[in-house]
């Protein structure tokens, strides 16, 4: 194989596919990036068997062929090359020579045909949303997946396509995050559970441009994201996702309108007094026009008051401050509305259209009171 391409194209492509290189694996070939120039297009591929990414880079193919090269060393070499045309040539013994200007690297490759190709997907159905929207909904929900493998479904996010709306849901047993995205084209209802890791890696690759589209297609076991010159294929998580509808409620006894930034800064300050792993709640006292927030730990205590507009009953309730911070950080509205029932029922932060819903369970604070 012998190809040439610009350093910048190569860096971009290697950086994209590197997201699917496993950090640990028992199959050394998966630590490689496959350079496939067997057709008229130069393709880079990486695949950890759960998540696979293929991207095309423009360049010239002088001799067709393919080679697998250790991803870590290849990406370091490529990044440090001079900003010019790069030639990659394989010798008979799989030695690979990377040349750019007067710099010449000589490293060992592995046979390309040992590489685990991406599964061939027969697409059943598909939806389209903008790169911007996909990147946003991931950011706005990914924090409430669970990182514990004890419940595999909680490590993923539900993509619930229904009535031409994509509803993205994550939950970890203490809170639920929901974002809704209207779809432009009519499509059959479908529920998919996408691994959190896949979404985290995809959101790093997405350019986030509003005018660029991602096509999302799916089969029984796989989901495929296509955008720019890149294809991301991921396994789905098997099983039926939690029935969240029965956890949601539109009843409330107390409704609070509050400036989001003020609330967020206040809780952020309060958490200074809480060491990591220490489960001190923030205690919220909702009165007529004021919300008082209090926290107390071994380090000291803090209290602060914020002006609010309230409907309904007064309420004293405690929360894990991190859960409030996570939700407030990803809401773009200047003011938020919080719906509460009593000190033992979850609170809901949501907008009128329910384009977002954040459910957070309160914590008991009798001991801290």
Binding footprint of a second copy on the chain (CB under 8 A): 70, 73, 76-77, 80-82, 102-108, 265-266, 268-269, 272-273, 299-306
**Least distance to a second copy from the beta carbon of 81, Å?**
7
> Whose Cβ is closer to a second copy: residue 247's or residue 290's?
290
- Separation between Cα atoms, residue 84 and residue 190, nearest integer Å: 47
> Whose Cβ is closer to a second copy: residue 102's or residue 220's?
102
**Least distance to a second copy from the beta carbon of 14, Å?**
14
- Separation between Cα atoms, residue 161 and residue 180, nearest integer Å: 10
**Least distance to a second copy from the beta carbon of 99, Å?**
10
> Whose Cβ is closer to a second copy: residue 295's or residue 315's?
295
Count of other CB atoms within 10 angstroms of residue 39: 10
User: What residues are paired with 286 via a beta bridge?
Assistant: 291, 315
DSSP-derived secondary structure letter, 280? P
> Whose Cβ is closer to a second copy: residue 210's or residue 307's?
307
> Whose Cβ is closer to a second copy: residue 97's or residue 343's?
97
- Separation between Cα atoms, residue 301 and residue 299, nearest integer Å: 7
- Separation between Cα atoms, residue 51 and residue 134, nearest integer Å: 18
Per residue, what are the HEC states of 176-201? EEEEEEECCCCCCCEEEEEEHHHHHH
- Separation between Cα atoms, residue 68 and residue 89, nearest integer Å: 12
**Least distance to a second copy from the beta carbon of 105, Å?**
5
**Least distance to a second copy from the beta carbon of 302, Å?**
5
């Amino acid at each position: 194989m012998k190809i040439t391409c610009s350093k910048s194209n190569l860096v971009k492509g290697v950086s994209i596919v590197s997201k699917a290189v496993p950090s640990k694996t028992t199959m050394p070939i998966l630590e490689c990036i496959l350079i496939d120039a067997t057709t008229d297009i130069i393709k880079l591929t990486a695949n950890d068997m759960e998540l696979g990414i293929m991207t095309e880079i423009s360049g010239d193919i002088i001799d067709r062929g393919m080679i697998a090269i250790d991803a870590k060393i290849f990406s370091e070499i490529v990044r440090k090359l001079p900003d010019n045309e790069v030639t990659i040539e394989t010798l008979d013994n799989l030695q690979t020579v990377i040349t750019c200007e007067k710099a010449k690297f000589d490293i060992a490759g592995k046979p390309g045909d040992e590489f685990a190709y991406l599964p061939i997907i027969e697409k059943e159905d598909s939806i389209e949303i903008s790169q911007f929207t996909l990147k946003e909904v991931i950011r706005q929900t990914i924090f409430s997946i669970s990182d514990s493998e004890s419940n595999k479904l909680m490590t993923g996010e539900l993509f619930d396509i229904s009535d031409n709306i994509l509803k993205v849901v994550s939950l970890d047993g203490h809170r639920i995050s929901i974002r809704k995205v209207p779809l432009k084209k009519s499509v059959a209802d479908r529920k998919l559970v996408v691994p959190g890791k896949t979404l985290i890696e995809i959101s790093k690759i997405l350019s986030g441009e509003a005018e660029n589209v991602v096509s999302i297609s799916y089969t029984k076991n796989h989901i495929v994201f296509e955008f720019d010159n890149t294809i991301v294929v991921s396994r789905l998580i098997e099983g039926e996702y939690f029935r969240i509808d029965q956890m949601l409620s539109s009843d409330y006894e107390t409704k609070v309108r509050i400036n989001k930034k003020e609330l967020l800064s206040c809780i952020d300050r309060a958490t200074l007094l809480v060491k990591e792993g220490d489960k001190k709640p923030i205690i919220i006292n909702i009165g007529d026009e004021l919300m008082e927030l209090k926290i107390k730990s071994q380090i000291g205590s803090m209290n602060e008051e914020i002006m609010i507009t309230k409907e309904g009953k007064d309420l004293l309730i405690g929360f894990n401050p991190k859960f409030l911070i996570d939700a407030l950080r990803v809401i773009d509205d200047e003011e938020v509305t919080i719906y509460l029932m009593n000190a033992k029922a979850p609170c809901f932060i949501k907008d009128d259209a329910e384009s977002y819903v954040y459910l957070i369970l309160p914590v008991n604070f009798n001991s801290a009171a």
